[in-house]
Amino acid sequence: MVGAGTDADVAIIGAGVVGCAMARRFALEGARVAVIEAAPDILSGASKANSAILHTGFDAPPGSLELACMQDGYREYMEIRGAMNLPVLETGAMVAAWTAEEEARLPALLAQAHGNGVGDARIVTGAEALEREPQIAPSVRAALLVPREHLVDPWSAPLAYATQAKMLGARFLFNAPLSAARREGGIWHLQAGDTALTAASVVNCAGNQGDRIEALLLGRSRFEIRPRKGQFVVFDKASAALLRTILLPVPTERTKGVVLTRTIFGNLLVGPTAEEQEDRERPEVTRPELETLIAHAGRLVPGLAEMPVTAVYAGLRPASDRKEYRVHAEPEQGYFCAGGIRSTGLTAALGIARHVFGLWQGAGHAAAPPADPPVPVMPNLAEHLPRDWQAPGHDGIVCHCEMVTAREIRAALDSPLPPGDFGGLRRRTRCAMGRCQGFNCLARLSSMADDRLSRPIAAEAGA
Amino acid sequence: MSGQIWDVAIIGGGPAGLGAAAELRRLGVARVVVLERFETAGGIPRHCGHPPFGLREFRRVLTGPAYAARLVEAAEAAGAEIRTRTSVTAIRPGGILELATTDGPQELRARRILLATGNRETTRAQSLVPGMRPVGVMNTAALQSFLYEEGRAPFARPVVIGSELVALSALLSCRRHGIRPAAMVETRPRVQTRRAFGLLPRLFGVPLHCGAEILGIEGRGRVSGVRLRLADGTEHRIGCDGVIFSGRFTPEAALARASGLALDAGTQGPRIDAEGRSSDPLVFVAGNVLHPVETAGYCWDEGRRMARRIAADLAGSLAAEAPRPALAPGPGLRYVVPQALVPGRAVTLNLRAEGRVRGRLVLAGPEGREYAAASVNAAPETPLRLDVPALADLPAELHLRLDREG
């Protein structure tokens, strides 16, 4: 038996979307899993800020691991989402061309999509694009329509993965940054926050810290993280009526560009920017970039000019010194790495987890999958599906902008993987995510949740 | 759904809605219901734990919560029904309201509707304030809800952004609860209240920075500081564990917007005519959803005035809804309420100008004819009033103009 005498067969470092999917895959396969996370909650780094699109991979590099993982991840998400109650909002996407130069690039994009197996992608005329989306600027010349690009709940999905891992016995350590590691007698000895633990293998899912974690474990790193900041603006829910289809720009070499899309929560989102920065821990919002995003959105959908802003946010994507995913293994070291997973990680995570599990198995490890694994049923937060406030007995609405009930807040606090901080509570329930940003509900939320959060909303008395 | 049809359904149980409810009942309107989404009616004064409230309404000085309770009592004593924990999710044409209740979704029908959903302070996000997004950033209302409703302090040493009256309310609330603000920051060149109030921060020993730009909020997890560029161009960092974004009120118009009522670009709230009607003639509007921001007493009185218009409409004595000449606010004027006049209806226009105002306010028609005028001399963020007499014949176009002096 692998890892006899260790605390875990596999220690997964980082509880972002990739780490959560990884924990689920290894737990489903019967491995004893420990997840080590520096922050108080899952999804606290790169995974908390993305555009929440389930990608087909139509524009991914042909033949790449990224493409394979995206398409694997897409397929698995569609397979498991029914049982887990994970939503999909079927929107389709249009890569819209606004200039002759952009229009000229559409046929190559179409060929790439078809080559990537996305056979239902097709080019539509400007008139067709406008018929589909009457509110977009009439200067649209043509578009590549990708019918199966859809929207998901970017937080409930990874929470479901992590919850299933937890139900299967995975151990989650929060506020536990990896500070020391040594390998002795084929066993990793790890110091994670206050906890010392041993594991036969480690899987590096550390996102923006991926290269540093690799260096800490192996003494050197095969890659270098170069964080890329993405800022987003969320418009009021009233604006969601202005657009159904995800609106993508014709991509450039460096970035997929600024997306305009509804969210599954009933808002409209524009972003991300793509800003290189050195700092890995400061995703700051900046006024000129936010204003540029708002102006850009108003040019694409003129009706947005009158819409209020609900929220702004920024995240750091773990780009690396190369375009591709940095997935590799050093089997004799018991080391596996899923690094440099950028904006496609939400879609690809389930596929990446399968791929890395395959590497682990290929290194001679084995585990016995449990029969009939438990499946968590997630609370629905998607606007187009029934919400908790529509069912009697919810004990009142706490957050009126996002219609979050007292019952939902309590359920999140009592769940198998409860939130560690206010951000975690927001991502699990949508509380205080709406237009008033807590004007009405923040104090009540603090009273309901603070004694359950490792990082409470109210500062501790005398602090 | 019960088969009952209400005479008037009032959306929002703050001073405007409760004032209207009591007045409608006093005028003999039989079935009046107030729909309040929170557990207690009373509106924003519920969590303003300090005086002065109630001078106009009850001729005594009350704290906010005591005042809110009096308003609720008065409406109930008059025979209005107040339904708390009831959110209106949509206003449909024909006087149909979709509700969210603790028993699930319901519908309610009324012959007339009064929208009185109030307003709220602009959030940090809406103001595109740069920096990190840590815990500890909130509006004054959230702070006061912490202090007066939940009985706890969210931080010990915050920075207060803004200098409208509500910022002084934030200072007072902090002081009463042992919270020591580290500074007060106004991004505009000077304090937005009368000079006497402007002395308050100094009196409390709170440094005041006017004309400062917020360069960034700092802190991962919790707020740790605010970086400023001061009026003299120097950069300055203030250590703090919270940030209060005060004032810059904006109407709580989400329901109006979602229900397709016409909104005004100046107020961001619903447009009304001089009778108080929105673009849906069954829907009247009162209180701070019309105009950011008036005192509770003003909103209460406005609710009562709208109640009289609604009662008249139910009695069939209101002029039929018809296209009205829109009032266009000229340069330097941010908004005017109501946005349209009605023939034969005298009305006091509620206006606000940019910055400090000294000069003459004029309502002019074609060929420069003046229909109303008044001298004004007011601090920034002070509401302006202009009395317009009943005019039998209204020109197709009316302009509001501010002739500044000095």
At residue A60, the pLDDT reads 95
Beta strand A259-262 with A268-271: parallel, antiparallel or unpaired? antiparallel
Which token pair is B125? 């996000």
Q: Name the pLDDT band for B161 (thresholds 50, 70, 90).
A: very high
- Percent helix, strand, coil in chain A, to 5, is 35, 25, 40
The mean-pLDDT minimum among A138-147, A266-275, A396-405, B337-346 falls in: B337-346
Structure tokens at A117: 């197996």
Q: What whole-number distance in Å separates Cα of residue A114 and Cα of residue A117?
A: 5
Phi, psi values for residue A340, rounded to 5°: 60, 30
Query: Phi, psi (5° rounding) for residue B45?
Result: -55, -20
Give the residue, B163 or B115, on which the prediction is more confident: B115
Report chain B's mean pLDDT, rounded to a whole number: 92
Q: Which amino acid is at A66?
A: E
Reported as a pLDDT band with limits 50, 70 and 90, residue B164 is confident
Residues 25-64 of B with CB under 8 A from A: 37-39
B260 reaches A (C-beta below 8 A) = no
Over range A128-149, report the average pLDDT: 98
Tokens coding A316? 């750091």
Left (φ > 0), alpha (ψ -120 to 50) or beta: where does A14 sit?
Answer: left
Yes or no, beta carbons of B104 and A440 under 8 Å apart: no
CB A121 within 8 A of CB A232: no
Residue B1 has pLDDT above 50, yes or no: no
Check B155 against A459: CB less than 8 A apart: yes
pLDDT tens figures, A217-231: 999 999 999 999 999
Alpha helices, DSSP H, located in A189-285? 210-218
* Nearest CB partner across the interface for B130, out of A285, A394, A442: A285
Residue of B nearest to A39 (CA): B221
Mean pLDDT within B311-333: 84
Q: Please state which of the ranges A118-122, A185-189, B302-306, B350-354 shows the lowest mean pLDDT.
A: B350-354
Question: What is the b/e burial string over B133-147, where b = at least 16 CB atoms within 10 angstroms of the residue's CB?
Answer: bbbbbbbbbbbbbbb
Nearest alpha-carbon partner for B324 in B384, B281, B362: B281
Which chain B residue shows the shortest CA-CA distance from A175? B221
> Best residue in A174, A242, A436 to probe B by mutation, most B CBs within 10 Å?
A436
Domain-wise residue ranges, chain B? 1-121+248-322, 123-247, 324-406
Q: Is the pLDDT of residue B2 over 60?
A: no
Task: Check CB contact under 8 Å for B221 and A421.
Answer: yes
DSSP state letter for B117: -
Q: Which amino acid does the sequence have at B177?
A: H
Q: Is the pLDDT of residue A273 over 80?
A: yes
Task: Give the residue-averaged pLDDT of A311-336.
Answer: 96
Closest by Cα among B114, B139, B111 to B124: B139
Report d(CA A427, CA A154) in Å as an integer: 9
A67-95 b/e (C-beta count within 10 Å ≥ 16 → b): bbbbbbbbebbeebbeebbbbbbebbbbb
Please name the CATH architecture into which domain B123-247 falls. Answer: 3-Layer(bba) Sandwich (3.50)
pLDDT band at A130 (very low <50, low <70, confident <90, very high): very high
Closest CA to A263 of A150, A110, A343: A150
CB–CB contact B120 A436 (8 Å): yes
First to last CA, chain B: 62
Q: Would you place residue A2 in the very low, low, confident or very high pLDDT band (cuts 50, 70, 90)? A: very low
d(C-alpha B50, C-alpha A7), whole Å: 57
* pLDDT at B138 > cutoff 80: yes
Closest-CA distance of chain B to residue A51, Å: 18
Q: Which residues in chain B are contacts of A291 at CB distance < 8 A?
A: 128
Within 13 Å of residue A341, how many CA atoms lie on the same side as its CB? 34
* B382 touching chain A per CB within 8 A: no
Across residues B188-217, what is the average pLDDT? 86
Whether A463 sits inside 8 A of B156 (CB atoms) is yes
Residue A361 DSSP SS3: helix
Enumerate domains of chain A plus CATH numbers: 1-89+150-223+322-378 (3.50.50.60), 90-149+226-317 (3.30.9.10), 388-452 (1.10.10)
pLDDT at B18 over 80: yes
pLDDT at B165: 86
Q: DSSP E strands: which ranges in B154-212?
A: 158-161, 183-186, 208-210
For B366-395, the pLDDT digits (tens) are 888 899 999 998 877 788 999 999 988 888
Cα–Cα distance measured from residue B393 to residue B45, given in angstroms and rounded to the nearest whole number: 41
Q: Say yes or no: ipTM exceeds 0.90.
A: yes
Look up the CATH number of domain B1-121+248-322.
3.50.50.60
* Cα angle value B19/B20/B21 (rounded, 5°): 95
Walk across the sheet containing A150-152 and list its strands: A53-54, A150-152, A88-90
Q: Which residues of A touch B37 (CB under 8 A)?
A: 397, 400
- How many beta carbons lie within 10 A of that of residue B315, not counting itself? 11
Please state the φ and ψ torsions of residue A223, each to the nearest 5 degrees.
-145, 165
Q: Could A281 and B265 be called an inter-chain contact, meaning their C-beta atoms sit closer than 8 Å?
A: no
Q: Do A237 and B258 touch (CB under 8 A)?
A: yes
Q: How far is A424 from chain B (nearest CA, A)?
A: 12
How many whole angstroms from its chain centre is CA A177? 20
B37–A309 CB contact, under 8 Å: no
Q: Are residues A231 and A118 in contact, defined by beta-carbon separation less than 8 angstroms?
A: no
CA A88 to chain centre: 14
pLDDT in the model for residue A57: 97
d(C-alpha A272, C-alpha A233), whole Å: 8
**pLDDT class for A463, splitting at 50, 70, 90?**
very low
Residues in chain A closer than 8 A to B239 (CB atoms): none
Determine the CATH number of domain B324-406: 2.60.40
CB contact under 8 A, A400 and B87: yes
Residues A356-389: tens digit of each pLDDT: 999 999 999 999 999 999 999 999 999 999 999 9
**Triad B344, B348, B353: Cα angle to 5°:** 135
Residues of chain A in contact with residue B248, where contact means CB-CB under 8 angstroms, are none
* SS3 letters across A96-163: EECCHHHHHHHHHHHHHHHHCCCCCCEEEEHHHHHHHCCCCCCCCCEEEEECCCEEECCCHHHHHHHH
| Strands B183-186, A309-317: pairing kind | unpaired
Host H or E run for residue B296? helix B296-314
* Mutual angle of helices A17-28 and A156-167, in 10-degree steps: 30
**What was the pLDDT predicted at B328?**
83
Nearest Cα to Cα of residue B181 among B207, B217, B202, B157: B157
Q: How far is CA B272 from CA B34, B56, B182, B260, B286, in A?
A: 21, 25, 42, 14, 9
What average pLDDT does range A412-440 have in this prediction? 97
Strand partners, A144: A95, A123
> pLDDT of A285-299, one tens digit each?
999 999 999 999 999
With b for 16 or more beta-carbon neighbours within 10 A and e for fewer, the A286-300 pattern comes to bbebbebbbebbbeb
Residues of B with Cβ-Cβ distance to A396 under 8 angstroms = 39, 85, 102
A223: its two tokens:
């890659």
Distance from the Cα of B146 to chain A's closest Cα (Å) equals: 5
CA–CA gap between residue B24 and residue B310 (Å, rounded): 8
Judged against a pLDDT cut of 60, whether residue A3 lies above it is answered with no
Closest-CA residue of A relative to B158 is: A459
List A12's β-bridge partners, or say none. A35, A203
Residue B390, phi then psi, degrees to nearest 5: -65, 125
Per-residue confidence band for B273, with pLDDT thresholds at 50, 70 and 90: very high
Rounded CA separation B371/B394 (Å): 10
A326 Cβ partners below 8 Å, 6+ apart?
A: A210, A222, A223, A320, A337, A338, A339, A340
Percentage of residues in chain A having pLDDT higher than 90: 94
Instruction: Name the residue facing B138 among A313, A400, A442 (closest C-beta).
Output: A442
Residue range B46-50: mean pLDDT, rounded: 82
DSSP summary character for residue B367 = G
Interface contacts A/B by beta carbons within 8 Å? 139
Compare all CA atoms of chain B with the CA of A422 and give the residue at the minimum distance.
B135
Q: Do the domains at B1-121+248-322 and B324-406 have one common CATH topology? A: no
| Cα(A21)–Cα(A159) distance, integer angstroms | 9
Task: Give chain A's end-to-end CA distance (angstroms, integer).
Answer: 49
Cβ-nearest to A389 among B100, B120, B242: B100
A205, A23 in Cβ contact below 8 A?
no
**B142: which chain A residues are within 8 Å (Cβ-Cβ)?**
438-440, 442-443
CB proximity under 8 Å: B 129-158 to A: 129-133, 135-136, 138-139, 141-143, 145-146, 149-150, 152-156
- Token pair belonging to B100: 């969210």
Contact B138 A438 (CB under 8 A): yes
Q: Give the C-alpha distances (Å, rounded to integers) separating B11 from B94, B119, B283, B287.
A: 16, 13, 10, 11
**A49-102 tens-digit pLDDT:** 888 999 999 999 999 999 999 999 999 999 999 999 999 999 999 999 999 999
State the DSSP string of B209-240: EES-EEEEEE-SSB--EEEEE-TTS-EEEEE-
